[in-house]
Structure 1
Amino acid sequence: MCGRFSLLANAHAIELFFELAELEIQVVQRYNIAPSQPILTVMAGPGADPDERKNMPDRKATLVRWGLLPSWVKDPRDFPMLINARSETANEKSSFRASMRHRRALVPASGFYEWQREGRSKPQAYWVRPRNGELVAFAGLTDTLLAADGSEIDTGAILTTGANEEFAPIHNRMPVVIRQRDFARWLDCRTQEPRDVDDLLQPVEPGFFEAVPVSSLVNKVANTGPEIQERVEPEPETEKSEQSDGGQMSLFGQG
């Protein structure tokens, strides 16, 4: 799953990476983005007018609440906060089916956090970031709920997939990464049906991410500074875990 992530890039870097004409949303460095908070998303634009910058894709950036609420929900208080959607079944679930067809999005990030629990007396947190240091785009879904007072609530979720062999020792799920070459196809909800983009919902290749062990400071939403990403020595695993994982954690020993 993906329950926390970070966005550290400035507005110019986001504009370039996602080929946005202009990012009209104020961007600040966010080290510990948590569910129910606003998150930045990139979606296909209305396509009405050509962009003032030549050959620029028609895309728009918006803020949504992290925790998708389907448009058919009557009372948000009685519905769980859907921060993740399993990519393998999203097109079959009533909560995500319409979004998969009509409201696919990209979620800009600098990386995400995950906790390794198996074989440990207490979870070990990891800051998982692209090895090249660049931005990353998670596959996202959005929806808009019409509230009882007539206001609209824009919400979103991050799609996950099974972990690749490198990340599996930490967790069995990871966010779906959409590469820049596939942005247009993923965001094209007019001509690309969910079945046409199903091939994009795969684990990213080993070596794309590096996992940095960090302290438990990230566990608290109130901790929002760069210190939560500082490398620490992970606590030793139990004897049982050391025997069963075949030394796979050494995959994360570099970087």
Structure 2
Amino acid sequence: MCGRFSLTATPEEVQELFGLEEIEDFPPRYNIAPTQPILVITGDRRREEGDNRTDRRALLARWGFLPGWVKDPAEFPLLINARSETAAEKASFRAAMRHRRVLIAASGFYEWHRPGKGSKEKSTPYWIKPRHGGIVAFGGLMETYMSADGAEMDTAAVLTVGPNREVAPIHDRMPVVIHPEDFSRWLDCLNQEPRHVADLMAPAPDDYFEAIRVSDLVNKVANSGPEVQEPATDAPAAPGSEKPARKPKAADPADKQMKLF
């Protein structure tokens, strides 16, 4: 699962990586939580004869997927993640998996190591980022939800997969990572059916990420500065044996971080 992540790259860096013609300015965000806006990249296949290029554009979507058939969002569970193994068959994600695959720009994500049942230890947070820095593209799904009064809202979820060697001691799921050489194939929903991109939904290589134990500052959404990514000050230890941190609280939709965009 992925319940928090970060995007601290500059707009120019995002524009260059994803091949965007234009992008609006945005601030660094160190503690992105569910229900907040996230930056997604869509790809629309150009239909002119002989033109095989893909138009890409960046837009904001609420992190929390809403299928078009939902009647009352207040009574529908918050879908921030979708299991890649079953998304193509699930009613909630089937249409988006076929027609609205997106890339979600990130600098890394947070995960919590949770002790086993009966343990008195608390959860321990980790900042998991590309070992060599830079931007990572999560595989995602998007749906534009239309309410009964006609208002539209773009919503999105992060696809997840089983962990690689680095993440496995911390959690049993991780975001799907789409590499730059696969951007076009992932975004080409006109020609690439879910079965054609199933091979892309695999754990990232074992040496792709590094996990850094951080303090429990990240547990609180109001803590939105770079300090949430600083290594914990006490001596590092293996997952399950170090000083634990509190489990993160659910995000408040009215949190001031919603006003960053």
Both structures adopt the same fold (TM-score exceeding 0.5): yes
The structure whose RCO (Cα within 8 Å, separation 6+) is larger is 2
Aligned amino acid, residue 118 of structure 1: P
Aligned amino acid, residue 26 of structure 1: D
Give per-residue Cα distances to partners, 1:157-190, cap 9 Å, x unaligned.
0000000122100000000000000000000000
In structure 2, the residue matched to 1:125 is 125
8 Å contact 2:127–2:213 — kept in the other structure? yes
The answer to whether 1:22 aligns with 2:19 is no
Percent identity over the alignment? 57
8 Å contact 2:145–2:153 — kept in the other structure? yes
Give per-residue Cα distances to partners, 1:86-142, cap 9 Å, x unaligned.
000000100000000000000000000000112671111100000111100000000
8 Å contact 1:111–1:128 — kept in the other structure? yes
In structure 1, the residue matched to 2:100 is 103
Cα distance change of structure 1 residues 219 and 148 upon mapping to structure 2, 3 Å threshold: same
The answer to whether 1:116 aligns with 2:113 is yes
Aligned amino acid, residue 37 of structure 1: Q
Tell me the number of residue pairs that the alignment of Structure 1 and Structure 2 aligns. 235
Distance 1:68 1:182 in 2: 24
SS in 1 for 2:16: helix
In structure 2, the residue matched to 1:251 is none
Q: Post-superposition, which runs of at least 4 consecutive aligned residues in structure 1 deviate over 3 A?
A: 233-238
Gaps of 5+ in 2: 242-261
In structure 1, the residue matched to 2:7 is 7
TM-score, normalised via structure 1 length = 0.88
In structure 2, the residue matched to 1:70 is 67
In structure 2, the residue matched to 1:33 is 32
8 Å contact 2:166–2:209 — kept in the other structure? no
TM-score, normalised via structure 2 length = 0.86
Distance 1:194 1:154 in 2: 21
Deviation at 1:144, TM superposition (A): 1.1
Deviation at 1:237, TM superposition (A): 6.7
In structure 1, the residue matched to 2:220 is 220
Distance 1:82 1:37 in 2: 13
Deviation at 1:148, TM superposition (A): 1.5
Gaps of 5+ in 1: 50-54, 243-255
